[in-house]
Structure 1
Amino acid sequence: MGGDANPHSGFIQNVRYSDESSLNTLDLYIPDAAAARDSRKVWIVFIHGGAWRDPAINASTFTRTQNTLLGSGCAKQVAGYASLNYRLSPYPAHPTDPSNPSDPSRNAKHPDHINDILAALLYLQEAYQFEDRYVLAGHSCGATLAFQVAAKRYWGSQYEATFALELNVVPPLAILGLEGLYDLPALVKYHDREPIYAQIVENAFGSAASWQGVSPASADYKDSWQEGTLVVLAHSREDELVEWQQVELMEAALIGQGWQKHDDAQRRVRVMELRGTHDSVWKENTEVARALEWTIQQIVGHL
């Protein structure tokens, strides 16, 4: 394990959290080493998107948002920032960086992706003891992975063969889903005239028989995510790749389990409307930063 600098302060890239592959790394920024374990501050952990397969979208996509947050009003409330890489599913047709069948970092199949995210979180929690004191944010399929973290206890009991669970990983206080994929069968059905959607989901999860079972909108969070206090579903109506219906399905699933919309609810769900196309939301960074800043402001009162 390790990176290219002291992992206790400053910006460190390519910190290795497991030895599964060359992609089992994370980027880390600790503004103040003395405050890294401050119980009055939160951590931000980001999971990139890219359809579980795109090598051009990685942990570094969070850097601009991170820099924006460092100059924001919430900066003093953040103990540390982490952005996670994870093994990717095959993409032999990628135009500039096709996958090789012999590369373990580019031939992942569920549950490899989520197991990597859990391993990265365990590494961070053991190093910095922040337990549930973090916001887990994910873009696109990264949002899928974020909710799979929250549902790990549920899936561990319902689908015993699905996860090699890191049982010691503590789920977060809050999840921020950005342009997220929450109901995989509905996503594929909505785009039934675009076969690439079914191909992407099958590439990551296998046959269609498994898609509903691993979808965040199908999980039961009542017992599996007792730490959870806030879900923010942030989405743009200008998203040309993922329809607003995904937000509606996830919100309905949470409300059906007792999550509420009003500000003083113990377990609250909030829909936040963003601006921009699917990828411009993170490329231009201000919208992701705005959503994260709002989320942090909401949960600091729970510390």
Structure 2
Amino acid sequence: MAEDIPYFPGADRFRTLSVYLPRTPDTLELVGTAAERLPEAGSDSAVPRYHVHIHGGAWRDPQLTSASIEPTVAHAFSDPAQPITAVASLNYRVSQFPTHPSLPYDAVRDNHADPAREAVHPDHVSDVLHGLALLRSFGLTDRSYILSGHSCGACIAFQAILQAPTQHGLELPDAPCPAAIVGLNGLYDLPELTDGLGDSHEHLRQEYGTLLANAFTPQRKAWATASPARFDPEGIAQRIREGTAPRLIVLDQSSQDMLVPMNQKERFAAHLGHVDGLHLIEGHRCSEGHAAPWERGDMIWESLQDILRLLHTGA
């Protein structure tokens, strides 16, 4: 494992990524060396051999980091026959969280002492794109990897791939195109996190309003513009035709999730149904509470195995 690799000049502690490799005689020889290359970089295999993950945390939790992928890594590398040869997990700057139970941060109150905790959209997307650019230099290529995201990480994953960086106001190149994207317990229609929570989640309305204001500004128009469930379907279809977005998307949501209502997945799935050339699968691996996919690890790994099988059959 190579931890906390900076992907930005003068990077703070959150503009980093970690790369995990299976324990083999070849990888043991890499212990103590600088991370510069992914295993099998340059391979012309049609099967994705890498997994890249974007963690959640409501855009704001400094304690939820790239290390949250480690339970999934344990499952992925328990079977030496599986095709995934490296897992990369990305950190990104987080937004203000004045009410964090143990590490509260308010930029004004705290005299802007920690800019890494003052991110405002599109900062999160910019960081992920910089991380993917570093992984490209390590050998990440189009369709060589599966991209996953949990919670707000699912939102960031789709923002980074389904729209060109310029549509977020970023002068950055496109990321390598993943073979597929899987969103788990994701947040996709941001205005509906205050306007359409439903009776089961209505008690979270004020909390969602606060976190969205900190992550996307208080301007509700900005929330709508940044919502993957409101991206132009023809724009997504064009990116699929160009090869900058994948044909396969998997959405999975636990019905027992007490933080994110099912209608977030349902709205996004209905919207993606209007995208020509897209193969949308509604997954069935997520269960239990909101954090269960990354806490347990098996749900993410089983989702990846499902995707590998779909790709093998030509999905």
TM-score normalised by structure 2 residue count: 0.83
Give the direction of change, closer, same or farther, for the CA distance of 1:285–1:223 in structure 2 (3 Å limit). same
One-letter identity of the residue aligned with 1:16: P
Q: How does 1:126-141 map to 2 (within 5 A)?
A: 126-141=137-152
2:4 and 2:13 in contact (8 A); partners too:
no
Q: SS in structure 1 opposite 2:50?
A: strand
One-letter identity of the residue aligned with 2:72: T
Give the direction of change, closer, same or farther, for the CA distance of 1:271–1:72 in structure 2 (3 Å limit). farther
Q: SS in structure 2 opposite 1:15?
A: strand
Could you tell me how far 1:133 is from its partner in structure 2?
1.8
- Which segments of 5 or more consecutive residues in structure 2 lack a partner in the other structure? 28-37
Identity of aligned residues (%): 31
How many residue pairs align between the two structures?
Answer: 280
Residue 7 of structure 2 is aligned to residue 17 of structure 1: yes
In the alignment, which of 88, 93, 113 is matched to residue 102 of structure 1?
Answer: 113
Equivalent-residue separation in structure 1 for 2:206 and 2:228 (angstroms): 22
- The structure where strand makes up a greater share of residues is 1
Equivalent-residue separation in structure 2 for 1:85 and 1:163 (angstroms): 21
Residue aligning to 1:3: none
Could you tell me how far 1:34 is from its partner in structure 2?
4.8
Could you tell me how far 1:91 is from its partner in structure 2?
1.2
Could you tell me how far 1:219 is from its partner in structure 2?
1.3
Residue aligning to 2:226: 214
Q: SS in structure 2 opposite 1:253?
A: helix
Could you tell me how far 1:164 is from its partner in structure 2?
1.4
Equivalent-residue separation in structure 2 for 1:84 and 1:90 (angstroms): 19
Equivalent-residue separation in structure 1 for 2:177 and 2:211 (angstroms): 27
Q: How does 1:63-142 map to 2 (within 5 A)?
A: 63-72=70-79, 76-99=82-105, 100=110, 101-142=112-153
Give the direction of change, closer, same or farther, for the CA distance of 1:217–1:148 in structure 2 (3 Å limit). same
Could you tell me how far 1:217 is from its partner in structure 2?
0.9
2:19 and 2:88 in contact (8 A); partners too:
yes
Q: SS in structure 2 opposite 1:270?
A: strand
One-letter identity of the residue aligned with 1:132: R
Q: SS in structure 2 opposite 1:78?
A: coil
Could you say what the CA RMSD is over the residues aligned between the two structures, in angstroms?
A: 2.1
One-letter identity of the residue aligned with 1:245: N
Could you tell me how far 1:52 is from its partner in structure 2?
0.2
One-letter identity of the residue aligned with 2:14: L
Equivalent-residue separation in structure 2 for 1:23 and 1:146 (angstroms): 17
In the alignment, which of 283, 290, 306 is matched to residue 294 of structure 1?
Answer: 306
- Which segments of 5 or more consecutive residues in structure 1 lack a partner in the other structure? 1-10, 260-266
Residue 253 of structure 2 is aligned to residue 238 of structure 1: no
